[in-house]
Every structure is written in C-alpha cells, then in structure tokens.
Amino acid sequence: MAGVARRIALLLQYHGGGFAGSQRQAGQPSVQEALEEAVAALTGARTRCDFAGRTDAGVHALEQVAAFTSTADIPAARWIRGLNHFLPADVAVQAAREVPADFDPRRAALDRTYHYRVRLAAQRQPLWERAAWVLSGPFDLDAMRRALMTLEGEHEFAAFAGRTDGAGTVRTLQKACLHATVNGLEFRFQAPSFLPHQVRHMVGQVIAVGRGSVCPGIVEELLARPRTGAAGPVAPPQGLYLVRVRYELAALQGWETFAGWEEHEDVRWTAD
C-alpha cells in the first residue's frame, strides 16, 4: 500500500568479485542495478538508488551507504529482511534508517575509510585470492610507514589517480597507516574523498617501497612532480574494502556493523 514518500538509507555489504562496480553500467552487472531491482521487486515501483561512493570492479564493501525514495508503506526495519530476500548472494543490507528527504549519501559524507588487505604466503592461496592480494615477503615495514606518512595531509595526488575526469586532483588524506600480522598486511586510509583508483595506486607504490625496488623518497617525488597515473604498480581490486562512511546526521549514528579487523602485535617483516 502506497503512502507518503520517504527517504531510506541502507548500510550495504557486498563482495565485488561478480560486479563491474557499484555504479550501474549498460550490459554489465552492478551493485546499483541489483539493489534497484530488489527495491522494485519488493515495492512494485522503480526508483533510483544513490551511493556514498563508487567502487570499481572487484572492490568490496563492508559499509557502503545507499539511499532511495519510496512511497511503500514499509517500516525502516523491515526493509532489511525484504530487500535481502531479493538481493543476490553477494549483496546484503545490514541496516536501514529513515532519513530526511534531501539526504544525499555522497555529498553528506564527512569522510570515507578504505582498508586494503595483503595476504602473505609463499604459495597460491585459493581461499584468499578473491579477498586479498596474495604476496610473499619480506617487507621493510619502517620504509613503508615512512612512505605512508609522506602521503598524509593535503597534496596534489594526480600521480596516484587512475584517471582525473577533468576534475581537480588535490585531496586531503587524513590517515594512511599500516598494520602487520603473521599472515598479512592491512593498509588503512581515511579522507573526505578519493580520486579514482587512488588507494590502489598508493598501496602498490608502498608495496614497491617495502620490497626495496624503489626508495621511500619516490613518494615525495611523485607528490612534488605529479604526472597522472605515474605511481604504481596498481594493487589489484580484490584486496580493497570500503569499510566506513561517516555522517553528522543523527539518524545515522550508531548503525555501524563493522568494528574493525582484530588487532595483533606487529610482526617485523624486514628486508634484511
């Protein structure tokens, strides 16, 4: 039964391996298409679903935020079960909240946090190759952290962009850090916004520093003399996760489901 139009925000988790990206693309599967089809199946009406950020083919999300407007008379909590019934196995709604009618999940975001996972192994890892970048060590963690510290702050990040789309390439990176465990490396980045492929370029460049194939000073050089896409190699998409989008909106406080991957004492992967 139709009622007053309401704006519904969703917290989505998805595995990106089967999608050409989050944004709808002609002739290719996308998370947006899957969600819009699920909303249509549940309500009988088609509506556009807006996303907090675009993720590329193969990139995952633990807390992507989407929003749509509907006149369906469905309580916010029931959207979760209803949409999950129609969504494919690789996408699931984790939370749903009613928000103001003008809520734009992209423009209203304070910042976004991405994690990038590297699995350390000497052999192929069939269970991990769709969820992380599988590499063998050793790595110089101190050199990698120095490179990451150089990336923090406001910089011209053109060298770390896969493309610029004609827009500006100055960004402010609030956090760039590295955590190491026995089995892997985890990069964590936080910023109000990112350039296309920026995180994957940063990870690939820092991995090269950690292996000793380039010196840590290369990062400073790339920031000082930017040339689009010069940083790299580009880390593959399967290790990248959108883990959080933050808002000031009271309705979206406390709805997070991801508490962060477990912390462990640092393992010293050195190049010695």
CA–CA separation, 171 vs 135, rounded Å?
29
Q: Which residues have a Cβ under 8 Å from the Cβ of 271 and sit 6 or more positions away?
A: 138, 139, 140, 143, 210, 211, 212
Provide the token pair at 257.
């489901």
Q: How far is CA 45 from CA 1, 55, 69, 254, in A?
A: 11, 26, 11, 30
Band (pLDDT 50/70/90 cuts) for residue 260 is confident
CA–CA separation, 245 vs 222, rounded Å?
28
Active site residues: 56
CA–CA separation, 270 vs 170, rounded Å?
33
Among 85, 84, 52, 92, CA closest to 68: 52
At 77 the pLDDT is: 83
Band (pLDDT 50/70/90 cuts) for residue 266 is low
Among 117, 260, 148, 246, CA closest to 192: 246
Model confidence at 268: pLDDT above 60: no
Is residue 95 within 8 Å of residue 84, measured between CB atoms? no
Predicted confidence (pLDDT) per residue in 59-107, tens digit: 999 999 999 999 999 988 899 999 999 999 999 999 999 999 999 999 9
Using alpha carbons only, give the angle 73, 76, 80 rounded to the nearest 5 degrees: 110
Rounded-to-5 percentages of helix, strand, coil across the chain:
25, 30, 45
Q: How far is CA 237 from CA 1, 31, 115, 149, 214, in A?
A: 42, 15, 11, 23, 22
Model confidence at 265: pLDDT above 60: no
Q: What type of residue sits at position 93? A: V
Q: What is the mean pLDDT of the chain?
A: 91
Model confidence at 121: pLDDT above 70: yes
Q: Judging by beta carbons within 10 Å of its beta carbon (0-12, 13-18, 19+), is residue 195 exposed, middle or buried?
A: buried
Band (pLDDT 50/70/90 cuts) for residue 262 is low
Estimate the crossing angle of helix 198-210 against helix 217-224, to 10 degrees. 140
CA–CA separation, 68 vs 122, rounded Å?
45
Express as a percent the part of the chain with pLDDT over 70. 94
Helix or strand (DSSP H, E) at 114: strand 111-120
Is residue 123 within 8 Å of residue 51, measured between CB atoms? no
